[in-house]
Amino acid sequence: MKFNFRNFIAILLLGAPIASATAEQRYVGGDISLLPDYEAAGVKYRDQSGKLIPDLLPWLKEQGMNAMRVRLFVDPSAYTGSDKDPNARQSLEYITPLCRRIKEAGLDLMLDFHYSDTWADPARQWTPKAWENLSDEELYAKIYEYTKESLQHLVEAGATPDFIQPGNEVSYGMLWGKNTDPESSLKKTFIGKSANWDRFGKLLRQAIKACREVCPAAKIVIHTERVAQHAVLASFYDKMKSLGVEYDIIGLSYYPYFHGNMDVLGKALAELEKKFAGKEIMVVETGYPYKDGISV
């Protein structure tokens, strides 16, 4: 199997500690969404001494990790764009056994809803094919229904998420429309139209409503990627407040080769902690080259 660095992203769940009933808790883990494929391809894992690791998840827990992230696409088989990626394959059916394994290993589970048939990020937030012809009012109902049904399925399978991301890197909104439709950009929040923000806010509130109903103990993460643009980052979370989006954790992407060195991240964390004192902060997505060459 060809290794694709982009699709086996290590994540660090950092920042202010999450308070629990007994003590403050910090999280560290990784995105293991492709683990079933690696295992099916015969990949073997070994510890530093060269000893074979028979089951990766319990071993990761032994090393001090305590949470794993898994992404979810609506129907990855339906995406036909020129940028189709075979690694964007995590349907609900695909992830259910993996999520159950994570929970059985005693690890917390972060579920990352992409609300798309393919990667959702600042450059693309394409509406799933099955939802493309829905009106905005119908989309508000659909995102609630889909989120609720997906979570109920996982709960019934013994894989209740502990953290839920209702959207992936959503600085510019979500569910823009078809990737072939030039008018889809009108749905992007960065254009600044209040209607776009209002639409986005309602989509988020509907998704979060479903999360709270099915998984009331789960922490809700609103995930953005504007770490290097501190004013924009703060403005986004100010907007979440004005839109009535109720969440628990500010989730960030941080890639040093895109965003800059660790000082950039440190400043962003410090400013967010000061401005949004009631929110926890996590770096939920990051990556770093396996070879030297980039200084942080």
Hey, which residues are catalytic here?
169, 285
Q: What is the pLDDT of residue 182?
A: 62
**Within 13 Å and on the Cβ side, how many CA atoms surround 29?**
25
Only one residue has tokens 């202010």, namely: 16
Residues of the chain with pLDDT under 70: 1-24, 182-186, 190-192, 290-296
H-only helix segments in 66-114: 92-104
CATH topology of domain 8-286: TIM Barrel (3.20.20)
Q: What is the pLDDT of residue 296?
A: 47
Q: What is the pLDDT of residue 180?
A: 75
Amino acid identity of residue 200, one-letter, is F
Q: What is the pLDDT of residue 7?
A: 33
Give the C-alpha separation, 230 to 236, whole Å: 10
Tell which residue, 17, 20, 16, has the closest CA to residue 273: 16
